[in-house]
Chains A and B, each alone.
Chain A
């Protein structure tokens, strides 16, 4: 069975600090896909990134970066120089491609001005 663990329930940082959100996954499949979604206070779910199991290159997009390590089954998300607008719940999710996404419980990030 597939499983996603986000051990950090809530994180609070001061604006401009860097913060890393952890995601550990379990799967028996050799082909799988990992996702991060953001849920701001308004409630909608915003897609951030998708990574397949064959691509372990780290990804950077502006202040966001993702570190995918198959050896530790982790797909961590770092926000550099955090801003108040980054305050949200962040979800990590996993799929083998054909099965529905399995979500972690989410990490609530609060960025304080």
Chain B
């Protein structure tokens, strides 16, 4: 099983460039998330989605955009990249249950440097 797949694994951007981080899952999970991990800061939520066509902001959404046109895919768009967006990005998904509380399945991460 592929699980959650993120591409690319590494990327270097110049200030002001744009790019899309891809995330796809094959588990038919409704819930998908984007987190960023900065050294010593844990994981912070950027955006999340509870199903196709529905997205919502997390704790640190500025400078990012998302879309959710299908259940499988949840791309993260960086417009006008800034050095502050240098980070490791994780995509995650989980299945919906009546009470929630299900564990997250994570992708392997994308290491992004903005220089």
Contacts and interface: CB of A to CB of B under 8 A. Distances in A.
B42 A97 contact: no
B40 A43 contact: no
B102 to A, nearest CB: 8
Contacts of A95: 100-101
Contact of B43 (A97, A98, A103): A103
B63 to A, nearest CB: 19
Nearest to A99: B100
Contacts, number: 52
B33 A105 contact: no
Interface of A: 6, 9, 31-33, 35, 43-45, 47, 50, 52, 91, 95-98, 100-106
B48 A100 contact: yes
Interface in B90-107: 90, 92, 99-106
Interface residues of B, number: 23
Interface of B: 33, 35, 40-45, 48, 58, 88, 90, 92, 99-106, 108-109
A98 B106 contact: no
A50 B101 CA distance: 8
B104 A105 contact: no
Nearest to A9: B40
